[in-house]
Structure 1
């Protein structure tokens, strides 16, 4: 007869660390999926450029390097005589930094709330999920504009507002996943062994709901970039002289007839980054979903 620890071990699901080559097949499938691998490579390039922006940018984004609204430099000169390429690189760093920071805030808080609501249940679940429903009842962009206008235009305020607005996305996903697995054998086995609820949530349940969280992280960053761009376009995000993709679009609209590239370059970059994030997120969903593994293996 198997001992208690042995029976519990049999009840626990195979994880990548327990299965042979748990990671290798996944990366093979990802590389075999051309759209996902191309989008991932582009995003990796974007991240490298954003991280190394001060070293890559030809000039300081505040320096006046030429005559305003001319074709000097690599991508031209803006209306203040600053290098467009340098400001585009720094603007990418700003927008991506705000979006990633906001999504991390939303992810940490939203996942924690979803885990607690799904596992504890009862009145705790009711309070958390009704609060999420109230937050979802407000139009995101309208609420963001109102809150940032009250708090004042600053990147910290933009991060906090976007982060709060995207908490429901993670909470509802995790909540539904936890409801479906909290009565599984491996969870019950952990309870029988006397494992603390916090450890069950962190070590048993969380790893088994990580796939949709990873997908949601990728998709939420794309939405957060659009939200930041919209707020900065309205003058509620990054403040001059610090550029972001949204502020560059807002500044370029005034010179659409004189030098349209001031509007085109940041707009195209926003489109490419958002498209790559959405394609990568869809690809990750297919790769992490067991129902699609046979198609992508």
Structure 2
């Protein structure tokens, strides 16, 4: 009796992973969270056209019900500022995660593949960064560098480099002695080519999952820094600055605080739900369980 070839090799896809992806799509939590994040993505891309008014312009008297969500303490449209605030917060978070991902993946590849003293130096530096509470280190760093969005992106990016480095380092340690990696070496490929052309494609799944989870934390850190006045500076709104400004008018106009706070919670929750769904799809061990 002949044995059928492995289905993944025969038809070009992994049925286990496809099945996990189907279960993920049938999960109403993932569908709702993904749809919400798609709406957030549209807001980020189309904010200047979707905002009903200029976020800097005074459209009415302060703290009135003009517009959909009313006006703030300067008479500016709250809905317009909320849309632009979502764009500001998400752009900062995405750029910070891209910085963290690029640096963390590179360091993890080098430390895991090269080994030796270089691995020790890199991983001990990562351990030092992990020993500090992220929000405390972020506040100190931004306070020193100055309250600018560029500095916020750099600081948050550096804070989350260790997460990517540890994930990639662990994966590379388990892959560097694999047969296909050894075959690459026998064929005369350089270490750099082997790292980036052979090893890196096989660690993309945990990188994607870590990126989605880090994005939710980056949104929280950015909101915290902006709430303290260390992020976006007036008149540019972000979700954190809107929460900070709205706390003084909670009794008079609670929507100034409630709506941006709800959006922050919803974005973080949606990113975590989608991250869990991606983990189920991209981690074969979870897909088989």
* TM-score, normalized by the shorter chain, greater than 0.5: yes
The answer as to 2:57 corresponding to 1:63 is: yes
Deviation (angstroms), 1:142: 1.1
Query: Equivalent residue for 1:108?
Result: 102
- Structure 1 contact 222–273 (Cα < 8 Å) conserved: yes
1:204 to partner: Cα distance: 1.2
Find 2:92's aligned residue among 85, 89, 98.
98
| C-alpha distance in 1 between matches for 2:26 and 2:285 | 17
CA shift in 2, pair 1:112/1:260, >3 Å? same
Q: Give the Cα–Cα distance (whole angstroms) in 2 for the partners of residues 292 and 174 of structure 1.
A: 19
Q: Any conservation in 1 of the 2:93–2:219 contact (CA below 8 Å)?
A: yes
Residue 260 of structure 2 corresponds to residue 277 of structure 1? no
Displacement of 1:102 after TM fit? 0.3
Aligned equivalent of 2:73, options 70, 79, 84: 79
Superposed, which structure 2 residues align to 1:144-163 within 5 Å? 144-163=138-157
Deviation at 1:48, TM superposition (A): 0.8
Do the aligned residues in 2 keep the contact of 1:50 with 1:92 (CA within 8 Å)? yes
Question: Is residue 184 of structure 2 the alignment partner of residue 190 of structure 1?
Answer: yes
Encode CA deviations 1:230-280: one digit per residue, 9 max, x unaligned: 000000000000000000000000001111110000000000000000000
Residue 42 (structure 1) aligned to one of 31, 36, 39: 36
Cα RMSD after superposing both structures: 1.9
- For residue 229 of structure 1, the aligned residue among 220, 223, 226 is 223
Residue 23 (structure 1) shift: 8.9
Matched positions, count: 282
Aligned partner of residue 52 in structure 1, secondary structure: helix
Moved over 4 A (4+): 20-27
The CA distance in 2 between the partners of 1:275 and 1:261, in whole Å, is 21
CA contact (8 A) 2:89 2:222 kept: yes
Query: In terms of mean alpha carbon deviation, does 34-43 or 76-85 score higher?
Result: 34-43
Shift, 1:29, TM fit: 4.1
Match of residue 194 from structure 2: 200
Deviations 1:38-70 (A, max 9, x none): 211211111111110000000010010011101
Question: 2:277 and 2:17 mapped to 1: Cα distance?
Answer: 16
| TM superposition shift of 1:292 | 2.5
Q: Distance in 1 between matches of 2:16 and 2:53?
A: 45
Using the TM superposition, name which of 219-228 and 140-149 deviates more.
140-149
In structure 1, the gaps of 5 or more residues are 1-13
Q: Please say if residues 35 and 283 of structure 1, whose CA atoms lie closer than 8 Å, have aligned partners that are also in contact.
A: no
Alignment partners' CA distance in 2, 1:118 and 1:180: 9
TM-score by structure 1 length? 0.91
Give the aligned partner of residue 128 of structure 2: 134
Q: Structure 1 residue 19: deviation in Å?
A: 3.7
Of 241-250 and 31-40, deviating more is 31-40
Q: Name the residue aligned to 2:212.
A: 218
C-alpha separation in 2, matches of 1:227 and 1:121: 33
Q: Which moved more, 1:285-294 or 1:263-272?
A: 285-294
Q: In 2, are the aligned partners of 1:114 and 1:173 still within 8 Å (CA)?
A: yes
Aligned match of 1:176: 170
